[in-house]
């Protein structure tokens, strides 16, 4: 066997043995590269006589062509094998069920849902939403709301106070959203109709209380507002929120520093079964506090109580969510348990509306 035949046999064997495209590329460079074995043979043609060149030229070029064809054929085989391996590894069983889309799998927290429901109800009555900071001054949280200096709510066991400033003023985490009412009265001219949903903080924790909870308050300031308007607003709200046609309400005398007169509101319900049914039965359930805005509060906001009067109310968003949707423990609201939110959560695209239904 001649030298060219031996070289061709070695190269073709190396091509056949290549198991990857990288190995095949090494064989190509070794044979056809600038310093490859076939290229070195081509360089020898210049040193041959014309007769030898006529014999060896076609032989070496033929070798080069056959090696190139063998490389191309092997490359196709390796590429096909790599593609088949990838398809096998990335195989998808189209008979498996599809994963739920984010809009189907995600859930709205009941607190967010109830805030949306409150917004829909009161917006229909002409109320707007007012917001304020979670960290408040003692003046806006207590003093402007007619809290005496020795009122128990100022004590450390009820309120989260921050470290005093250099001037002695102590900031605090707001204990209610009432400071937003003060900010609204100081920045807007009557008539005022706002609700103020938001987070509030108190030193308390048990089955029905948490250190951080959600509250919504409402405020109306006008020249002709009176207690009859207050009763109508609360009655219409309760009927819309609990989605009943009729509801019994009972107003009991109470005391709040920022309202006079002050009242607690009970609604009629039925406790005979495992659930509390609103709008039926002979039992009563306390749901919120309300009253006519105290003249001192109106005066503290730069308004004349002889010209303007108004009413306000407040309720716990978490508590009415528990009541409406049958949740037994308030602490579960903040446990971040995906099983709980899957059970009690709401579909994100089912936005509450009065005409389409608040809860679905």
Identify the pLDDT of residue 192.
95
- Residue of 79 and 158 predicted with greater confidence: 79
Q: Once rounded to an integer, what is the mean pLDDT over residues 254-275?
A: 88
- Residue of 7 and 253 predicted with greater confidence: 253
Cβ contact 66:8 at 8 Å: yes
Identify the pLDDT of residue 59.
77
Please indicate, yes or no, if residue 356 is contained in any of the structural domains. no
The residue range of the domain holding 250 is 109-344
Q: Which residues, in sequence order, are CB contacts of 108 under 8 Å at separation 6+? A: 116, 345, 346, 347, 348
Do 239 and 277 lie in one domain? The reply is yes
- The pTM for the full model equals 0.68
Res 2 pLDDT > 90 = no
CATH number at residue 156: 3.30.930.10
Distances (CA, A) of 109 to 175, 275, 291, 328, 339: 23, 21, 31, 16, 12
Do 40 and 140 lie in one domain? The reply is no
Res 315 pLDDT > 90 = yes
- Per the structure, the count of domains in the chain is 2
Cβ contact 216:317 at 8 Å: yes
Do 336 and 220 lie in one domain? The reply is yes
Do 187 and 130 lie in one domain? The reply is yes
Residue 124: band (very low, low, confident or very high) from pLDDT cuts 50, 70, 90: very high
Distances (CA, A) of 160 to 42, 137, 154, 156, 163: 91, 12, 9, 7, 10
Do 293 and 167 lie in one domain? The reply is yes
Please indicate, yes or no, if residue 353 is contained in any of the structural domains. no
């Amino acid at each position: 066997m001649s030298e060219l035949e031996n070289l061709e046999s070695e190269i073709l064997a190396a091509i056949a043995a290549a198991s990857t495209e990288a190995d095949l590329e090494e064989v190509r460079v070794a044979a056809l590269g600038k310093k490859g074995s076939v290229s070195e043979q081509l360089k020898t043609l210049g040193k041959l006589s014309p007769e030898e060149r006529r014999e060896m030229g076609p032989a070496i070029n033929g070798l080069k062509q056959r090696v190139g064809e063998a490389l191309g054929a092997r490359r196709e085989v390796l590429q096909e094998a790599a593609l088949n391996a990838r398809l096998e590894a990335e195989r998808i069983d189209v008979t498996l069920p599809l994963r739920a889309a984010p809009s189907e799998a995600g859930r709205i927290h009941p607190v967010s849902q109830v805030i949306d429901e409150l917004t829909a109800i009161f917006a229909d009555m002409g109320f707007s939403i007012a917001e304020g900071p979670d960290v408040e001054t003692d003046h806006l949280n207590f003093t402007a709301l007619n809290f005496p200096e020795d009122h128990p709510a100022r004590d450390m066991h009820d309120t989260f106070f921050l470290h005093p400033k250099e001037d002695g003023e102590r900031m605090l985490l707001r204990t209610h959203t009432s400071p937003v009412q003060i900010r609204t009265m100081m920045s807007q001219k009557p008539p005022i109709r706002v609700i103020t949903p938001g987070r509030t903080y108190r030193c308390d924790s048990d089955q029905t209380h948490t250190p951080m909870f959600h509250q919504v308050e409402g405020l109306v300031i006008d020249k002709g507002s009176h207690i009859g308007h207050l009763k109508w607003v609360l009655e219409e709200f309760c009927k819309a929120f609990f989605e009943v046609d009729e509801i019994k309400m009972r107003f009991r005398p109470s005391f709040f520093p920022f309202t006079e007169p002050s009242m607690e509101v009970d609604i009629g319900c039925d406790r005979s079964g495992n659930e509390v049914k609103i709008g039926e039965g002979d039992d009563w359930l306390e749901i919120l506090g309300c009253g006519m805005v105290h003249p001192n509060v109106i005066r503290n906001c730069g308004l004349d109580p002889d010209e303007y009067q108004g009413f306000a109310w407040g309720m716990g968003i978490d508590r009415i969510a528990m009541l409406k949707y049958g949740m037994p423990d308030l602490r579960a609201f903040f446990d971040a348990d995906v099983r709980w939110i899957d059970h009690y959560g709401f579909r994100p695209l089912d936005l509450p509306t009065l005409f389409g239904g608040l809860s679905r």
